[in-house]
Structure 1
Amino acid sequence: MNCFYSQEPAMTPFYQLTATRLRGQPLSMADYAGKVVLVVNTASHCGFTPQYAGLEALYKKYAAQGLVVLGFPCNQFGKQEPGGADEIEQTCHVNYGVSFPMFEKVDVNGPAAHPLFRYLKQALPGVLGGRIKWNFTKFLIGRDGTPLTRFAPFTTPEKMEASIVAALTR
């Protein structure tokens, strides 16, 4: 009988996923191992769009402690993200000063849903079961890659701060 032992921690499903940055660079979620990650589906023309400012404030405040915010534009809710990378960048960087990583536009529901969102919805179902109900649904992932909490679109970044701090101090 052969037994193998590794001191490396097992890869969680989160760390096995990849996504593409806004300008086309592929990125593995494994690059964020050891970080607390907040995944957000975003939109440039949504009533919740001003949350970008609060998300950026949290990112700046806690980045040195290991927080990273990942923005995933989505056009599935009221067609509120119709533009391409240039328009998304304009909204995020110029209008709200966003410096956290932004990714290519994705679907979060349906048969074409991005694998990251399929995984997160399965791990943390919301009030609509597995579906995401609107833009700015947020998922908090622990340093070990375990999905911890799902926040509704109306939950402001400021109201998530205690949960983020708790995840950072685990």
Structure 2
Amino acid sequence: MSFLLTTLTKKREVDSIIRDTIDKVLVLRFGRASDAVCLQLDDILGKSARGVSKFATIALVDIDSEDVQVYVKYFDITLIPSTVFFFNAHHMKMDSGTADHTKWIGAFHRKQDFIDVVEAIFRGAMKGKLIVCCPLPPERIPKFQLLFKDV
């Protein structure tokens, strides 16, 4: 399914999609096509793309591309997949009960979870908010800090 989604490999492409996506949520998935969890997420994103197309645009960012490292560093992409949201060129944050409000780490459990999150971000953005509360129950939010606590 990920072949249906635009893959960005250049900083210029990321800059322009952030700048040019107006009145829609921009969903940027940072990761690599060879990663199993990225493929799982890409499948959900690909299957959701048409359903959210009226209020969201989805693109994939290849973190192995040398040219996008400025974004990888800026958003502190250390775990993949990481999904970052924008609205009218503003970085949208989401409080999902984790320490990091800047991005969604991991895959969504199901298509509807992704759609619910994008809808919540869209509704919040339309009200002028830059941070929204995650609409998902805690058990459907990936918990990565637990895995790395004692490393």
User: Please, what TM-score do these two structures have when normalized by structure 2?
Assistant: 0.55
One-letter code aligned to 2:78:
I
User: 1:144–1:45: structure 2 CA closer, same or farther, 3 Å change rule?
Assistant: closer
Tell whether 2:32 aligns with 1:43: yes
The 5-angstrom pairing of residues 1-170 of structure 1 reads 21=8, 26-27=12-13, 28=16, 29-48=18-37, 49-64=39-54, 66-75=55-64, 105-106=65-66, 113-114=69-70, 116-119=71-74, 121=75, 130-133=76-79, 135-143=80-88, 145-149=90-94, 150-156=103-109, 158=111, 159-169=113-123, 170=126
Alpha-carbon shift at residue 68 of structure 1 (Å) = 0.6
Per-residue CA deviation, residues 110-133 of structure 1 (Å, 9 max, x unaligned), is xxx22x3344x2xxxxxxxx4422
What 5-or-longer segments of structure 1 have no aligned partner? Answer: 1-19, 76-104, 122-129
Counterpart secondary structure, 2:78: coil
User: 1:43–1:141: structure 2 CA closer, same or farther, 3 Å change rule?
Assistant: same
The farther-off stretch of 149-158 and 30-39 is: 149-158
One-letter code aligned to 1:136:
P
How many Å separate the matches in 1 of 2:51 and 2:60? 17
More strand by share: 2
One-letter code aligned to 1:148:
K
What 5-or-longer segments of structure 2 have no aligned partner? Answer: 1-6, 95-102, 127-151
Give the RMSD, CA atoms, in angstroms.
Answer: 2.9
Alpha-carbon shift at residue 70 of structure 1 (Å) = 1.5
Alpha-carbon shift at residue 69 of structure 1 (Å) = 0.9
C-alpha contact 1:40 1:138 (8 A) present in aligned 2: yes
Counterpart secondary structure, 2:58: strand
Stretches of 4+ aligned residues off by more than 6 angstroms: none
One-letter code aligned to 1:166:
A
